[in-house]
Amino acid sequence: MPTSALSTQHSALVIFAKAPIPGQVKTRLCPPLTPDEAATLHGSFVLDTLERTKAAVSKFKLPLDRYLACAPSSAHVFFKIMEERQGVRVIDQAGDDLGARMNQVFETLFAHKYTQVVIVGTDVPSLPLEQYKQAFTLLGSHDLVLGPALDGGYYLIGLNRPTPALFTGIPWSTEQVLTLTQEKARALGLRTSVLAPWRDIDTISDLNALIEAGAVDTKKPKHEQSFSSRTAGALQLLAKRLRTRA
C-alpha cells in the first residue's frame, strides 16, 4: 500500500470484490444464467456495495476510510474506474484461499495504524445501512463482529486487532464457516457479537429470492428503496429471461 493511502482515521471498511469477468464470478448461477449475465449482475452488486457503504458513511457520519480489496488485481480497468468514481482506495487481495486473503488485508491495515477493520462482501446488495454503523459500534466493546449469512457462512467480519488463527483450518464456501469461526473465537477468548442474518447470493434459489425482494422493493417510495435502479432493472430482466428458459 502506498504511503499516500495512510490516514488519520482509525477505522477502515473494506469491500472484498472480484472483477466482473465472465466465467470467473457467480459461476454457481451458470446455468441458468450465462457467464456474461452472471458477470453483469456481479458488477452491479459491486457498485451497489460501493454506493451503499458511501451512503452509510455519509448518513451516520462514520469516521472511517473505505477500501476496495481487489481480485485478480487492483490494476484491472474495472477497479481503476471504481477508484476514480467512487472515492475508494484500492488494494490487492493476496493469498491461497479466502481466509488467507482476508487475514492479509487485516494485517496490512492494522499495520497502518487502523484500530477497527471491517470486511464486507459484495453478495448483500440490499444490506441495511444500519448494519455498517452497528458493526463499528459493536467493535467498540467486542473483539470480533460477524454478520451471519443464511447459508452458514458470513457476509461481514470485523476485528480490532490481527487474529490470524480465525482464518486457518476453515472449509471455505461450506455451511460450516460461521460455526467453526465462532468455535475458534471462543477458544481464543474473543468477545464476539453477531449482527442480524442476511442472505447472500450464491445459488439460483438465492437469486430467485432476491428477484422477489427486488419486485417488492420497487413498490416502495423512492427514498425507502434498498435496491439501486440499476440492479432492480437487471433483476427484472433476468426474471423474464429465466421464465422463458424454464
Specify the pairing of strand 64-71 against strand 89-92.
Answer: parallel
Q: How many CA atoms lie within 13 A of 176 on its CB side?
A: 8
Which class for 50: exposed (0-12), middle (13-18), buried (19 or more C-beta within 10 A)?
Answer: buried
Q: What is residue 134's predicted lDDT score, i.e. its pLDDT?
A: 98
Where do we find the cell 473465537? 185
Question: In the predicted model, is pLDDT for residue 15 greater than 90?
Answer: yes
- CB contact at 8 A, 109 and 67: yes
Q: Which of 7-21, 136-150, 181-195 has the lowest mean pLDDT?
A: 7-21
| Residues 32, 119, 39: CA angle, nearest 5 degrees | 25
Q: Write a three-state SS string for the chain.
A: CCHHHCCCCCEEEEEEEECCCCCCCCHHHCCCCCHHHHHHHHHHHHHHHHHHHHHHHHHHCCCEEEEEEEECCCCCHHHHHHHHHHCCEEEECCCCCHHHHHHHHHHHHHHCCCCEEEEECCCCCCCCHHHHHHHHHHCCCCCEEEEEECCCCEEEEEECCCCHHHHCCCCCCCCCHHHHHHHHHHHHCCCEEECCCECCCCCHHHHHHHHHHHHHHCCCCHHHCCCCHHHHHHHHHHHHHHHHHC
Q: What is residue 28's predicted lDDT score, i.e. its pLDDT?
A: 95
Question: In the predicted model, is pLDDT for residue 145 greater than 70?
Answer: yes
- CB contact at 8 A, 162 and 117: no
Question: In the predicted model, is pLDDT for residue 2 greater than 50?
Answer: no
Regarding pTM above 0.85, the answer is yes
Where do we find the cell 427484472? 236
Q: What is residue 5's predicted lDDT score, i.e. its pLDDT?
A: 41
pLDDT averaged over every residue in the chain = 94
What's the pLDDT band for 4 if we cut at 50, 70, 90? very low
Amino acid identity of residue 185, one-letter, is A
Question: In the predicted model, is pLDDT for residue 224 greater than 60?
Answer: yes
Question: In the predicted model, is pLDDT for residue 19 greater than 60?
Answer: yes
**Percent of the residues in the chain that have a pLDDT greater than 70, as a whole number:** 96
Domains and CATH numbers, the chain: 7-201 (3.90.550.10)
Question: Could you read off the pLDDT of 31-42 as tens digits, one per residue?
Answer: 999 999 999 999
Question: Could you read off the pLDDT of 91-120 as tens digits, one per residue?
Answer: 999 999 999 999 999 999 999 999 999 999
Which class for 56: exposed (0-12), middle (13-18), buried (19 or more C-beta within 10 A)?
Answer: buried
Q: What is residue 246's predicted lDDT score, i.e. its pLDDT?
A: 74
Q: How many CA atoms lie within 13 A of 108 on its CB side?
A: 23
Q: What is residue 9's predicted lDDT score, i.e. its pLDDT?
A: 59
